[in-house]
Structure 1
Amino acid sequence: MRIPERGRSRDEVMALLERAGASDLPWREGKTFAYVYEGGRDVEDVAKHAYMRYLTENALDPTVYPSLLKFETEIVAMAIAHLRGDKDCVGNFTSGGTESCLLAVKAARDYARKERGIAEPHMVLPVTAHACFQKAAHYFDIGMTLVPINPQTFKVNPYDMEAAIRPETILLVASACQYAHGVIDPIPEIAAIAQRRNLLLHVDGCIGGFLLPYFRRLGAPVTDFDFAVPGVTSISMDFHKYAYAPKGASVVLYRSKALRRHQIFTAATWTGYSVINPTIQSTKSGGPLAATWALLHYLGDEGYLRFAERTLAATRAIADAIRRNPHVRLLAEPESSLIAFTADDFPIFPIVDIMRKRGWFVQPQLGYMGSKANIHLSIDQSTLDLVPQFLPDLEAAIEAARSANLRLPEEMRAMLASLSPETFTPETYRQLMALAGTSDGLPEGTAPINLMLDAMPPEVAGIVMTEFFNDLYVQPREAPAAA
């Protein structure tokens, strides 16, 4: 496929864009329980206006665009105050939670190299910690130990975290809250261990960090997790979730500049301009910064507290309905705005496809690393108005999934369970995709492939997903049709 020989009119291009998005999730309807967060049309309008105003400004060099430096330092200051930091705390704006967590790990690695002389660093994290920490270990060549969690509470035992510490351990990781089940790790106890063992502790507050302080103010029981806890040395928090900023908008915060210094990359040993990168990105649009700053001023603390109250009410209403249903159960008692529920007597995955046909997107989660296959819901303030529609549809979907009772034949389950990374071949992958009905692009339904993935060892499922995405991102077979 080549660049079009001749350009099209603006209207033609806009029409092509609209046609391309015809099959995307209609997230503005409030029926999407993952990936997006709906603040309302007025919030979206403010964010887009601010974003477009600073779209072409480059946040690479704050001396050229002092407005972007103003936005970043003020956003970070608000985040520090929100997470009960003091005057010594510092931080930076990033493109999202993954970048924030990568930077915290990179800073810990370089700090340990300089201050402790550790050449082969290692970190300790619960199996429920976000996968981006495993990405950090992979990218930065850091060893890691994944610590199992309590199968009833889905929280890590602090003593198990301490038992996994080695002489070369540089960092402990905990979540507030963890994504899969919506619970908060015992951070005060883990922080005490970090202090006693002279280790850094990063708290991943990407999805919960902004919302949980509001839940606390609304009377919900919230485990302390922020800079008010001695021993917490860094925190990540996203604004593009419950602060309703456009993606990507996050911050990584440190208790001191002495630690943050190890996050910064500088290169003077080349012939070009001075390279000083506080974050991973170099050239980057000022749009996310401006939009986040604008929304913090537009909604204010009172507006965010109102949104949090609605989110809390919606979460409680949905959790209560799941508790009342005899055929499903909560995996854990939600401590934030995230719910995970499962079934013991029938496969849970068909609920995803049934709900999709009814206009709802709910997220499947595989039964790995001590968790059971489940459905995940990220609940938003806009959900509150739709609870009366959502709950009857969910009840009907549960009943339909029970009736369908879609299961893999035992012979297939045994075959899938026997697969190993060592013997897995491209031909194995092609056979699996044919069995799942995904040999030619995206499947119509997700239940068959999720049932198959759930039956495989996690390491094999990872290979399958890698191959699937490697096939998905290829050159288009033909040019796009004219508008």
Structure 2
Amino acid sequence: MKIPPKGLPKEEIFKILQSYKGEDLDWKSGRVLGFIYDPGKKVHDVTHEAYTMYLTENALDPLSFPSLLRLENEVVRMTANLLGCDNEVVGNFTSGGTESLILAVKTARDYSRAVKPHITEPELVLPITAHSSFFKACHYLGIKPVVTRVHDDSFGTDVAAMRMAITDNTILLVASAPGYAHGVVDPVPEIAALALEKDLLCHVDACVGGIHLSYMRKLGYDVPDFGLNVPGVTSLSVDLHKYGYAAKGASIILHKNKALRKYQIWGCSRWTGYPVINPAITSAKSGGPMAAAWAVLNYMGDDGYMEIVQEVMQATKLMIEGVNRIDGLRVLGNPDMCMFALASTTDKINVYHLAEEMKKTGWYLQPQFARENSPSNLHISLNRSTVPQAEAFLRDFEATVEEIRNREVDQQTRDLQEELKKLSLKFDDETFFKLAEMAGVTGTEPPERMDKVNMLLEALPYDISEYVLVEYLNN
């Protein structure tokens, strides 16, 4: 494709863009149970207007656009106050949870370089349920991830296992509030106390739960402690574009104090251009996400958030109880908020088949691979738009379960799964293309069904499945 020699009319451009969206998930339907956090049209309109109002302003230089610095400071302070932080807590606005987590890990690495220079091969201790972005951060920053188990019943972090994993090279302990996969909040006070005992930093990933859990507490729900007011917690991340219902590109990284936050910041004056100072990873960035986040926090207010949280939690209770009533299925652990994972308790129900058939009725559920003591499962995140759809979901879900009950995995796939488990690290491009063909993945278009693909990827050793994912995207 080339840039057209002559510009297209505005009407044609938007007609083409609209046509491109034809195969996308219908995020306004309330039936997309992952990725989407829809607050409804009124809130969406406010965020859209605020975003476009600041679309062009560049947050690279706060001296040129001081309004952006003010917006950032006010959004950070509102978030910190909601989370019960004291006035020593400082923070910055980032593009999302991944950037916030990378910054938390960078801060720990650079802090350890300053105060523990003997550590030359730093390690990060985290449970298997911690977000994938921690592994990305370790990959980018040259840190070894040391993964620990979670409890079989609760899927919360096994603190004793975490203690055993600490070495002289450990620089950071990680907890989640909640872990995305199961919606379970880790025992943050115990993990943070361990960090204090061992003179380590402790980060709480509250990207998905920080806002929602805080309003649950205001409503009287029994919410486990997870914030920077817990002794030993030194940093915390919270996304505003999830259950804060802000536009995409809005997260906050908070630190216990300025003394720690300084290891996050980067500056440069050694080149021939203007001096640069970056509190986050990106330099030039639109003021749109920041303005939209500020607008939604002020527009919603405590009362607006509490209304949504109450409705969503009632729908969550309804859906969890409904799933648990179905013979052969169970919700994993005891979810602490409006997200959960469901798994099969019998070989007569294949959750990957279930996800594919639910697509036909307009529902999107998120497949999650079996890892350690967490079985193959489907993830569900509820949001405001899900509330009026909860009963319809249960009707469609129960009917679909009965439709696929006793549907067997074909013999070719079963045989291939067993072979894949034996694969060595010597996995080349030729093997990749053969595997892709067997899984029905050919050409550049995504496959029509993902159940077989997911079963085969799940069967592969971790490092090989990650190699396959990279090769697929690259090809």
Q: TM-score, normalised by structure 2?
A: 0.97
Structure 2 partner of 1:219: 220
CA distances 1:296-316 after superposition (whole Å, capped 9, x unpaired): 111101100111111111111
Give the Cα–Cα distance (whole angstroms) in 2 for the partners of residues 344 and 17 of structure 1. 44
Q: CA deviation at 1:443?
A: 0.8
Contact 1:368 1:458 in 2 (8 A): no
Structure 1 partner of 2:254: 253
Q: CA deviation at 1:453?
A: 1.3
Give the Cα–Cα distance (whole angstroms) in 2 for the partners of residues 47 and 405 of structure 1. 47
Contact 2:211 2:244 in 1 (8 A): yes
Structure 2 partner of 1:457: 461
Structure 2 partner of 1:269: 270
* Residue 5, structure 1, aligned to residue 5, structure 2: yes
Give the Cα–Cα distance (whole angstroms) in 1 for the partners of residues 229 and 267 of structure 2. 32
Give the Cα–Cα distance (whole angstroms) in 2 for the partners of residues 115 and 95 of structure 1. 29
| Corresponding residue SS for 2:202 | strand
Contact 2:40 2:384 in 1 (8 A): no
State the aligned residue count. 470
Q: CA deviation at 1:431?
A: 1.3
CA distances 1:424-462 after superposition (whole Å, capped 9, x unpaired): 121211111111111122111111111111222222211
For structure 1, which segment, 186-195 or 456-465, has the greater mean C-alpha deviation from structure 2 after superposition?
A: 456-465
Question: What stretches of structure 2 of length at least 5 have no aligned partner?
Answer: none
Q: CA deviation at 1:408?
A: 4.9
Contact 1:365 1:376 in 2 (8 A): yes
Letter in 2 for 1:332: G
CA distances 1:127-176 after superposition (whole Å, capped 9, x unpaired): 11001001111000012200111122111111111111111211100000
Give the Cα–Cα distance (whole angstroms) in 2 for the partners of residues 411 and 307 of structure 1. 47
Letter in 1 for 2:130: A
Give the Cα–Cα distance (whole angstroms) in 1 for the partners of residues 107 and 383 of structure 2. 33
* Residue 187, structure 1, aligned to residue 188, structure 2: yes
Give the Cα–Cα distance (whole angstroms) in 2 for the partners of residues 311 and 325 of structure 1. 22
Structure 1 partner of 2:399: 396
Give the Cα–Cα distance (whole angstroms) in 2 for the partners of residues 146 and 70 of structure 1. 40
Give the Cα–Cα distance (whole angstroms) in 2 for the partners of residues 468 and 297 of structure 1. 43
* Residue 157, structure 1, aligned to residue 158, structure 2: yes
User: Which of these residues, 353, 361, 364, is aligned with residue 364 of structure 2?
Assistant: 361
Give the Cα–Cα distance (whole angstroms) in 2 for the partners of residues 352 and 322 of structure 1. 14
Contact 1:408 1:451 in 2 (8 A): no
Structure 2 partner of 1:438: 441
- Counting only pairs closer than 5 Å after superposition, residues 280-295 of structure 1 correspond to structure 2 as 280-295=281-296
CA RMSD of aligned residues (A): 1.1
- Counting only pairs closer than 5 Å after superposition, residues 289-368 of structure 1 correspond to structure 2 as 289-345=290-346, 346-368=349-371
Structure 2 partner of 1:279: 280
Contact 1:107 1:260 in 2 (8 A): yes
Give the Cα–Cα distance (whole angstroms) in 1 for the partners of residues 318 and 386 of structure 2. 10
Structure 1 partner of 2:113: 113
Question: What stretches of structure 1 of length at least 5 have no aligned partner?
Answer: 472-483
CA distances 1:349-373 after superposition (whole Å, capped 9, x unpaired): 0111111110111100011232100
Q: TM-score, normalised by structure 1?
A: 0.96
* Residue 58, structure 1, aligned to residue 61, structure 2: no
Structure 2 partner of 1:23: 23
Give the Cα–Cα distance (whole angstroms) in 2 for the partners of residues 137 and 323 of structure 1. 37
Q: CA deviation at 1:333?
A: 1.5
| Corresponding residue SS for 1:181 | coil
Give the Cα–Cα distance (whole angstroms) in 2 for the partners of residues 328 and 28 of structure 1. 28
Give the Cα–Cα distance (whole angstroms) in 1 for the partners of residues 239 and 203 of structure 2. 15
Contact 2:104 2:235 in 1 (8 A): yes
- Counting only pairs closer than 5 Å after superposition, residues 74-93 of structure 1 correspond to structure 2 as 74-93=74-93
- Counting only pairs closer than 5 Å after superposition, residues 195-234 of structure 1 correspond to structure 2 as 195-234=196-235
Letter in 1 for 2:448: E
Give the Cα–Cα distance (whole angstroms) in 2 for the partners of residues 219 and 461 of structure 1. 43
Letter in 1 for 2:395: P
Contact 1:58 1:65 in 2 (8 A): yes
CA distances 1:241-298 after superposition (whole Å, capped 9, x unpaired): 0111111100000010000000000011111001000000000000000000001111
Structure 1 partner of 2:124: 123
Letter in 2 for 1:333: N
* Residue 429, structure 1, aligned to residue 417, structure 2: no
| Corresponding residue SS for 1:262 | coil
Contact 1:314 1:381 in 2 (8 A): no
Give the Cα–Cα distance (whole angstroms) in 1 for the partners of residues 344 and 58 of structure 2. 50
Give the Cα–Cα distance (whole angstroms) in 2 for the partners of residues 432 and 396 of structure 1. 33
Structure 2 partner of 1:476: none
